[in-house]
Structure 1
């Protein structure tokens, strides 16, 4: 089967898995991109040290990574659904009807990284560099992160509007207008700038990683704190 046939079958038969695979590929692409940028730093050092053997090796690895990045992006594009489902739920209201909520509460002091699988988990807070911000939903974390980064460099954030790598293939994630091709745009508090919030937890995670990379902020400097983990419940009910 061709890549097109495989992606079409997955989208038609298991659309939720198409979304899961797309998010995993996005994360892999971000990690490969970070690796390539780190190699760039090592290239400069190798050149300074006149280590031309290492210089050649690093250049070859960087070039090969670019090839794989392109292949991953091509397959990821094939998996994008023709109809984007609504993913935003009123999480606090949803929790009210869950059985034994306290059973799924977790230690909110434990730090997690952005490489964590956030599906079926609920946020308590996040920390970017030295600032810790309390949030109730992943969408709120996304908006607060955009607001913080926008205040650091508005021009860079605005550049995301026309940056294909920072947007979905069929939906804009950032806009200067609420009339853009967005499902659930929300205006940030400190500017006439809109963010797509119809994204699930892992999609938001990937978006935050991409933004941090563009702002030159280490991904390790962004911490997540959870208040609940419903993975066990959803696995039990087959969700």
Structure 2
């Protein structure tokens, strides 16, 4: 079995899922909010669409888990290893220099239908990233490593619970559409669009008193336009 094919399939699964979720945001913005009939029709469509994409996201997550479990001995080949400059100053400077050849984006930009390649957080570069989910989880892992006690309190902080009582972090994975375990012993929602992820990151950075300017995003050229 060619492991590269498995890696490519996983990347495609994640990419398609993120695009479908982003499309929901795009369709909602395209509804004429001054037209009641358009709002009613659009709202019903969005509800049905979100249900269908949620089911697809859960199926994709199950397939991913099955593949990673079956190919556990080749886990580093199946899942791209994210490069970082945490432990090597010279390497980190080189990575930042390479990233800066492309345009840097802030978390206030619109990332609909765009794919990440890397990011810099508090002066540390991360590359070889293929999905927004990977960006989100890598940031969370970095913050956990830096402040484990503060990170553990995320699960009880009310700012991460929506008005409809939907948590971003929880110890009960059944409360999430697609749950991802975190090193702190609880779960986070990962079935989010690119823009929902960047909004979540803005919240998390604010929680840790990190200026949003401390994070820069770099996009893949094939999705820059």
In structure 1, which of residues 116, 121, 142 is the aligned counterpart of residue 136 of structure 2? 142
Matches within 5 A, 1:82-161: 84-85=50-51, 86=53, 109-134=102-127, 135-161=129-155
TM-score (norm: length of structure 1): 0.52
Q: Who wins on radius of gyration, i.e. which is larger?
A: 1
- The residue aligned with 1:194 is 187
| Partner SS for 1:121 | coil
How far off its partner does 1:209 sit?
Answer: 0.5
| Partner SS for 2:217 | strand
Residues in 2 aligned to 1:155 and 1:7: alpha-carbon distance in whole angstroms = 49
Matches within 5 A, 1:1-239: 12-15=40-43, 84-85=50-51, 86=53, 109-134=102-127, 135-168=129-162, 169-179=164-174, 181-188=175-182, 190-228=183-221, 230=223
TM-score (norm: length of structure 2): 0.55
Change (3 A) 1:157 1:191: closer
Cα offsets for 1:191-235 (capped at 9, x unmatched): 323111011000000000011111111100100000045486xxx
Of residues 126-135 and 110-119 in structure 1, the stretch that sits farther from structure 2 once superposed is 126-135
Cα offsets for 1:160-183 (capped at 9, x unmatched): 22333213335321123434x001
Contact 2:155/2:186 (8 A) holds in 1: no
Change (3 A) 1:183 1:226: same
Residues in 1 aligned to 2:37 and 2:157: alpha-carbon distance in whole angstroms = 30
Residues in 2 aligned to 1:177 and 1:165: alpha-carbon distance in whole angstroms = 17
How far off its partner does 1:84 sit?
Answer: 4.9
How many aligned positions are there?
Answer: 148
Unaligned runs of 5+ in 2: 1-32, 61-99
Residues in 2 aligned to 1:149 and 1:8: alpha-carbon distance in whole angstroms = 44
Change (3 A) 1:9 1:206: farther
Change (3 A) 1:9 1:203: farther
Residues in 1 aligned to 2:35 and 2:203: alpha-carbon distance in whole angstroms = 24
| Partner SS for 2:176 | coil
Across the aligned residues of Structure 1 and Structure 2, the Cα RMSD in angstroms comes to 3.4
| Partner SS for 1:155 | helix
